[in-house]
A = this chain, B = another copy of it.
């Protein structure tokens, strides 16, 4: 093979310069699509639905509407089109391609699906539709510190891009923002070189839905059951979101309904300002340039949380900066002193009522409804802070009963109420579970492995900013503060489990001794009868007395 190699063609700085150029963000993610969760057909299907559901739930909750979602995975077989219309189906206007054929005439494969997600949310104003679905890095959640499912402005446009790459079909969006405005129907593609939307069509349309959004993405994927499936994801979503009503039609045409168990929305998540402890020199310098505050004292109070008059005064005194100084006049040296002084000033933790945990009762209810175990417990930790961001950890445990006893524990992970199904071993949750000492709670655990036993571990992280290990939001990054809180929650729940397991072991032990003695009581009776020559009645009395004594001793 080496012989067939070309001779070394040494390059120099000039020849190298010729190939140095900019990479568009959409080109980048096309080549690195696994970063977005599109590395396998099965995962592509799940990721698409997950991103759309995330957006729908966020929008409904923000608008104060109890969410009702319809989700369908339809095999994209043109022969069936028009026959197997679901109740919520909308007949698409015949679409002209360049070749004058309808879109449906393109050749199909078994693994080609049309994904439909429809919600009763607030809808999207028509000017924003193309960019939300046809541009990566566009959204409303990135710039705010607020607990929400979506946060990066990538997900749904990436799903559309994947559909476009694999089937050439545009994203179809229906949206209606209320009875007074007309509904719209858009067909959108993403210009891969420019990362800008291409609008194929975008007209008013008639839609019987007064308010809501419907998305249709055609893609190649693979529908599977099991741990990583859409079915499992939707089931877990319903566990963590009891206020959501889901109707789901799978590719086999089976319809499942996950009804909401409450009509009450979770407490509204509140947007907070950044906390001074989480800010860095470069960010602080930029905030100083961008601020509308006219002096540095006002700047500190306006732009950060938990900085009142007294704290601002302490910080500025420590930094030796006059309170009336213009923020835009702060030079780097000032910024550094300001930062040093912040680090030395005692500032209260950020507010935590901006977080909306599931709550111990609902975690418990979710576990109880989801599996048959003999013991359940749940723990919601107080809120904590990493890099200035408040977050909160919840843990639920289910043990025994019908759970399989000789397998590794099953771990269910959630971030801001969204189930995380992939990349378990990359997740901070995994590290926290692995590094907890389960032996001390009466479970088996090998070095470097999950505990073994009939155990399900549920962990939920709620935060104004969940740090994921990749854009596909499948695993939580290993920030030490987060791992620590997870371990504390696991310990608290683990101790309760440990007490249960010990009590069960004691009971089992006592039961065994009892049954052992019980077995011999009749023999003792007979032996006594032989020795003392007592009557059968007397013998029966002795047996009854012994049995009774045993019963009473066990109860003590």
A contact residues vs B (CB 8 Å cutoff): 1-2, 4-6, 8-14, 16-17, 19-25, 27-28, 30-32, 34-35, 39-40, 59, 62-65, 97-99, 101, 105-107, 122-125, 127-128, 131-132, 135, 137-140, 142-144, 152-153, 164-168, 175, 177-178, 192, 265, 267-268, 270, 280-283, 285-286, 331-333, 335-337, 340, 352-353, 407-408, 423, 425-426, 430-431, 446-450, 452, 465, 467-471, 475, 477-480
Contacts and interface: CB of A to CB of B under 8 A. Distances in A.
A178 B10 CA distance: 14
A492 B105 CA distance: 49
B333 A101 contact: yes
Q: What is the copy number of this chain in the assembly?
A: 2
B124 A467 contact: no
A30 B387 CA distance: 13
A368 B132 CA distance: 56
A142 B28 contact: yes
A206 B131 CA distance: 50
A-B residue pairs, 9 tightest by C-beta: A446-B446, A426-B426, A165-B282, A10-B64, A449-B449, A13-B177, A19-B140, A99-B331, A23-B137
A340 to B, nearest CB: 6
Contacts of A192: 282, 286
Contact of A32 (B123, B143, B467): B467
Contact of A423 (B35, B336, B469): B469
B449 A39 contact: no
B11 A122 contact: yes
Contacts of A12: 63, 122, 177-178
Contacts of A32: 152, 467-468, 471
Given A21-B138, A97-B333, 5 more contacts: A17-B124, A35-B469, A165-B281, A166-B280, A168-B335
Given A11-B122, A138-B21, A336 B153 contact: no
A39 B333 contact: no
Given A23-B153, A423-B426, A446-B449, A352 B125 contact: no
Nearest to A3: B353
Contacts of A128: 17, 20
B19 A144 contact: yes
Contact of A477 (B34, B105, B471): B34
B477 A11 contact: no
A469 B426 contact: yes
A138 B21 CA distance: 5
B282 A164 contact: yes
A450 B450 CA distance: 12
Contacts of A138: 20-23
B332 A268 contact: no
- Give the most central of A2, A28, A153: most B CB within 10 Å: A28
Contacts of A40: 480
A173 to B, nearest CB: 13
A39 B479 contact: yes
A407 B467 CA distance: 31
Nearest to A169: B332
A424 to B, nearest CB: 9
A281 B449 CA distance: 42
A442 B97 CA distance: 63
A10 B178 CA distance: 14
Nearest to A281: B168
B143 A13 contact: no
A1 B380 CA distance: 14
Given A2-B353, A479-B39, A333 B23 contact: no
Contact of A268 (B9, B16, B27): B9
Contacts of A478: 39
Contacts of A467: 32, 34, 39
A20 to B, nearest CB: 4
Contacts of A127: 17
17 contacts: A8-B64, A11-B64, A12-B122, A17-B125, A20-B138, A21-B138, A23-B138, A23-B139, A25-B25, A27-B142, A39-B467, A105-B333, A166-B281, A167-B281, A407-B447, A425-B430, A425-B431
A201 to B, nearest CB: 16
A55 to B, nearest CB: 11
A25 B152 CA distance: 11
Contacts of A63: 10-12, 16
A139 to B, nearest CB: 6
A144 B408 CA distance: 43
Contacts of A332: 97-99, 106, 168
